[in-house]
Amino acid sequence: MSDAHRLEFDPIERAGEIWSRHIGDPTSMRLATSIMRVQQLISAELDAVLKPLGITFARYEVLVLLSFSATGRLPLSKIGERLMVHPTSVTNAMDRLESQGLVRRVADEKDRRRTFAELTDEGQRVLGLATAAITEIDFAVPGLSPEQQDQTYELLRHLRSSAGDFA
In a domain? residue 62: yes
In a domain? residue 135: yes
Q: Global pTM?
A: 0.85
Alpha helices in the chain (DSSP H): 11-22, 27-50, 57-68, 76-83, 87-99, 121-136, 146-162
Structurally, the chain folds into a number of domains equal to: 1
Range of the domain at 89: 9-140
In a domain? residue 156: no
In a domain? residue 163: no
In a domain? residue 26: yes
Check residues 84 and 133 and name the one with the higher pLDDT.
133
- Cβ atoms of 91 and 105 closer than 8 Å: no
In a domain? residue 157: no
- Cβ atoms of 140 and 42 closer than 8 Å: yes
CATH number for the domain that contains residue 72: 1.10.10.10
The CB-based long-range contact list for 87-90 (8 Å cut-off, 24+ gap) reads 89/58, 90/62
In a domain? residue 150: no
Phi, psi of 159 (to 5 degrees): -65, -45
The pLDDT, as a whole number, for residue 120 is 96
Q: How confident is the model at residue 112 (pLDDT cuts 50, 70, 90)?
A: confident
